[in-house]
Amino acid sequence: MDSKIINLKSKLDIYKAMTGGGNLADCPVRDVIQGLNGKWSSLLMAALAEQPYRFGELRRLVPDISQRMLTQTLYDLQRDGYVHREVFPTKPPSVEYSLTDLGRSMFDALQHLLQWAEFNHDAVRAARAGFDATQA
């Protein structure tokens, strides 16, 4: 039997035991990855890894994100501890977003996945097209 499956099964058993039953709601992997799974999260993390941005700058950088989704995604990233929101006492107040130390450490790992996605995008699209052709 594949050792990766055994290791995952063991980990899942540990997570289940931590909650006193069959619930995987407290699975550390699911809990953390879920926060990065949003449509815009990885893109915003990549932008903030380059430099801090004001809200309006992020909105212009990613023009197809709605103001509501940008606000919600930044809020979620801030809640998870990846993004710092700083309000400057100007008239009107300006807000700047930057990565926290936790966010930078997470982005180090995420960056490998983003690079893999760029490198393999054509292969994934071809696989999808081939699969879809067999389903029609």
In terms of Cα–Cα distance, which of 105, 103, 43 is closest to 70? 43
Whether residue 83 contacts residue 98, with contact meaning beta carbons closer than 8 Å, is answered with yes
Q: Tell me whether residue 23 is in a domain.
A: yes
The number of distinct structural domains making up the chain is: 2
Tokens 């999260």 correspond to 41
In tens, the pLDDT along 97-124 reads 999 999 999 999 999 999 999 999 999 9
Angle (CA) 40 42 46, round 5° = 115
Q: Tell me whether residue 122 is in a domain.
A: yes
Task: Tell whether the model's pLDDT for residue 64 goes beyond 60.
Answer: yes
pTM, 2 dp: 0.79
For residues 21 and 87, state if they share a domain.
Answer: no
For residues 10 and 47, state if they share a domain.
Answer: no
Task: Tell whether the model's pLDDT for residue 77 goes beyond 90.
Answer: yes
pLDDT band of residue 54 (cuts 50, 70, 90) is very high
Q: Tell me whether residue 136 is in a domain.
A: no
Greatest extent of the chain over all pairs of C-alpha atoms, in Å: 64
**Domain of residue 63, residue span:** 37-127
Q: What was the pLDDT predicted at 35?
A: 75
The rounded distance, in Å, linking the Cα atoms of 23 and 17 is: 9
For residues 63 and 103, state if they share a domain.
Answer: yes
In tens, the pLDDT along 2-25 reads 555 567 777 777 777 766 666 666
Q: Tell me whether residue 135 is in a domain.
A: no
Q: Tell me whether residue 133 is in a domain.
A: no
